[in-house]
Copies of this chain bind each other. A is one copy, B any other.
Amino acid sequence: MSALPFSAPQSAASIDGAAGGAATSGFVSPDPDYAAKVQDSFNRQAAMTLIGATLTRLAPGSCEVSLPYRADLTQQHGFIHGGIVGMIGDSACGYAGFSMMPPGASVLTVEYKINMLSPGQGERLIARGKVLKAGKSLVITQCEVFAVQNGAEKLVAVMQQTLMVMHSRSDGAHDQAAQAQQQQ
């Protein structure tokens, strides 16, 4: 677990500290291996590799995804494409939610909604997702996406998302399509 690029559980307090503290968030993961399973799942998201996004922080119920600016990620005006802003928001929320799911379950995005507040420009984007409610079947999350420019953070987008807990469907299983169809 020392190879994880994000804070492992023992150092997660620093994340929680930034976001309000473990005592404040009140989230305790039902999966003792949540950090490893989230990182493993993220690593298998080829689309995150394609755009250069990485998982930079994780704690029970919260997750941060960072995306350095690249010219090939832009829309017609030279800003990061709104769809790519949505991609990292979807992942940050999804893994915040996955961290609160029990062992043996996998995660599926039901829907998300994103408001763009400012153009996505700067050195990098940072998406911070957090769980609002972790239910048995559904997990509701929110995300803020910031653009970092000259060291200052600016809010560029906000998202609300609904996730589904797919029980008894290991995240690494191969026949996920049939499973997703069946449960959803």
**Top-8 shortest CB links A-B:** A83-B87, A47-B81, A113-B113, A77-B176, A44-B76, A111-B115, A135-B184, A83-B90
Q: A121–B177 contact, CB under 8 A?
A: yes
- A47's closest neighbor in chain B, by CB? B81
Q: B77–A88 contact, CB under 8 A?
A: no
Tell me the count of chain A residues lying within 8 A, CB to CB, of chain B: 68
Q: Mark A160-175, 1 if CB is under 8 A from B, else 0.
A: 1010100000011110
Q: List the interface of chain A (C-beta within 8 A of B).
A: 41-42, 44-51, 71-84, 86-91, 106, 108-119, 121, 132-133, 135-138, 140, 142, 155, 158, 160, 162, 164, 171-174, 176-177, 180-184
Q: How far is the CA of A129 from the CA of B32 in the complex (A)?
A: 36
**Interchain Cβ contacts under 8 Å between A and B, 30 examples:** A44-B75, A44-B76, A45-B74, A45-B81, A46-B72, A46-B75, A47-B81, A48-B81, A76-B171, A78-B177, A81-B90, A82-B112, A83-B84, A83-B90, A83-B91, A84-B87, A108-B116, A110-B138, A111-B113, A115-B160, A118-B180, A119-B181, A133-B155, A135-B183, A136-B182, A136-B183, A137-B184, A138-B164, A142-B158, A158-B160
Q: Select one of B46, B109, B132, B155 contacting A155, CB under 8 A.
A: B132
Q: B121–A110 contact, CB under 8 A?
A: no
